[in-house]
Amino acid sequence: MMKRNAMLAPRSLLLLTGAAPLVLLTASCGSAPPTPPTVVAPLPKPAKAAEAPAEAPKPEILVAWVETTPPNPVIDGEIDEWGESQGSPSVRLSVTKDGAHLIADLVGDAKNGLWIALSAPAAELRPLGEWGRDGTFYKFDCAEGLEPEAATKCKATLDLHAAFTARHAARFERLFRLDAKGLRWLEAGGLSPVPNAIVASKVKGDRVTTEISLPLSALPRISESPASTFSLAAVTGPADKAPALAPEQRAELSAPESIDFEPHGELRAAARMHALDQAFSYHPAQPNIVELVDFPDRVHGGTSLEPTEQVLWEPVTKLGDLELGYVHVLDTYVGIFKAKKLVDTVLLVGEPKGFVERNKMVHFFGYDEHMIDPIGATSASWSVLAVDATGNTSEPLDSDLLPSGWSSVTAFQDKSFDRFGVRGVPYGGDESEPGGPLEVVWTWNKKKAAYVPSRQVPRGKR
């Protein structure tokens, strides 16, 4: 069932209670009226001493961000170079663009083995539902009163989505085991060594100090760009039973400086802003591969989501000191770099079809085709994005001659893009169209510095 989003005003109920004192006066018959008794105001009850708020339970093992990250740490078990310890037992974290470090100062049971959970905020998934024709989003929900068969199907849909959400979130956490066998991580088949991790420990009386160097491949998936937020938890327990961590056992840690995983940190941050509703994420070991999660039908919505991987940056050509290319999220943008610094990212409407250098600019061509609700016709159009030598952009294409929709349509272009267009049968419900096959052709007009359209009957149809 689809439920329209609505805000419910909060309600309050005020209960007023009170009691009037009852005074019973007695007197001897025939005697003088008694002297009114002296009314003594009752002494106020002493106020209770204010109770201090209960302290949140402290974790068994303290976790924190390191005080100092040395530029070239030596992994030998000596932890003084990482700044002052938080005490024992404790585990501290450092993350840089090159990897991460875990610094452990352990006593008691923690020396015998502990679990360390390192996570980052999971990319937020959009709710299931559909958009109405007026743009209102109707959230999918199992309302009361459904027929049994419909209720069963509805619940099955929500169960599938819950399982998808759990799998999605699990990729934003790494669970490590540190004990006498070294550092291992939990995978589908159980505990296994962490590839390329370096571990060194020193025994100091009743303490064990440990340094762990983690490669980028050992980090969890990341949704922030640049990254700055992580959470860390450390608990003791047997190696054969992974812990079920409660929220209060995790501590949210903020990096003292934002972390860009290179290459393309600046570009990735811009791309993320273009895909805020599409659960944007990436892995630090493959920073040029990004994932977006959205409805398979992005126009209407639906009752399932699907992930799509994209190569973020695809360089294609140069213009003077500019480097130009495609920025792929679910839509495609043209990225403009100058001296390896990002100048701009500009939307190219439609699927990229190619580019040419023309009129001291680079022209990028896109073609878009989609269904039009509610009439069922097809919209088809070309777009051109021109980039000049300074990095400024323009759209030198006139689309005024396009019909409002097509019953059938195909696109065409020549190799040099001197000529491109669409041909087909305009939508029969458009009374402004004469009917029959139609071809709309754009040709480059050097004098106007633009692609000028013309309408004609396709060859062979005249």
Q: Are strands 341-348 and 182-187 parallel, antiparallel or unpaired?
A: unpaired
Q: Enter the tokens of residue 326.
A: 């495609």
- Asked if 304 and 296 count as a contact pair (C-beta separation under 8 A), the reply is yes
Of residues 16 and 421, more confidence is placed in 421
Q: How confident is the model at residue 43 (pLDDT cuts 50, 70, 90)?
A: very low
Distance CA 291, CA 280 (A): 6
Distance CA 225, CA 131 (A): 29
Q: How confident is the model at residue 54 (pLDDT cuts 50, 70, 90)?
A: very low
Average pLDDT across the chain, whole number = 87
Q: Is the pLDDT of residue 388 over 90?
A: yes
Q: How confident is the model at residue 404 (pLDDT cuts 50, 70, 90)?
A: confident
- Domains of the chain with CATH codes: 62-122+172-259 (2.60.40), 129-167 (no CATH), 265-456 (no CATH)
Determine the average pLDDT of the residues in 393-402. Answer: 90
Instruction: Name the range with the highest mean pLDDT among 12-16, 256-260, 369-373.
Output: 256-260
pLDDT, tens only, 156-198: 999 999 999 999 999 999 999 999 999 999 999 899 999 999 9
The per-residue pLDDT for 120 is 98
Q: How confident is the model at residue 60 (pLDDT cuts 50, 70, 90)?
A: confident
The per-residue pLDDT for 36 is 39
Total-model pTM: 0.82
pLDDT, tens only, 325-351: 999 999 999 999 999 999 999 999 999
pLDDT, tens only, 9-38: 333 322 223 333 323 223 333 333 343 333
pLDDT, tens only, 225-249: 999 999 999 999 999 999 999 999 9
| CB proximity list for 370: less than 8 A, separation 6 or greater | 299, 378, 379
The per-residue pLDDT for 134 is 86
The per-residue pLDDT for 144 is 87
Q: Among 136, 66, 134, which residue's Cα sits nearest to residue 95?
A: 66
pLDDT, tens only, 271-303: 999 999 999 999 999 999 999 999 999 989 999
- Asked if 119 and 174 count as a contact pair (C-beta separation under 8 A), the reply is yes
CA distances from 44 to 40, 48, 345 (A): 12, 12, 71
- Asked if 280 and 272 count as a contact pair (C-beta separation under 8 A), the reply is yes
- Tokens 């409407």 correspond to 349
- Asked if 100 and 73 count as a contact pair (C-beta separation under 8 A), the reply is no
Of residues 55 and 349, more confidence is placed in 349
pLDDT, tens only, 112-157: 999 999 999 999 999 999 998 888 999 999 988 899 999 999 999 9
| CB proximity list for 342: less than 8 A, separation 6 or greater | 266, 267, 270, 335, 336
The per-residue pLDDT for 429 is 61
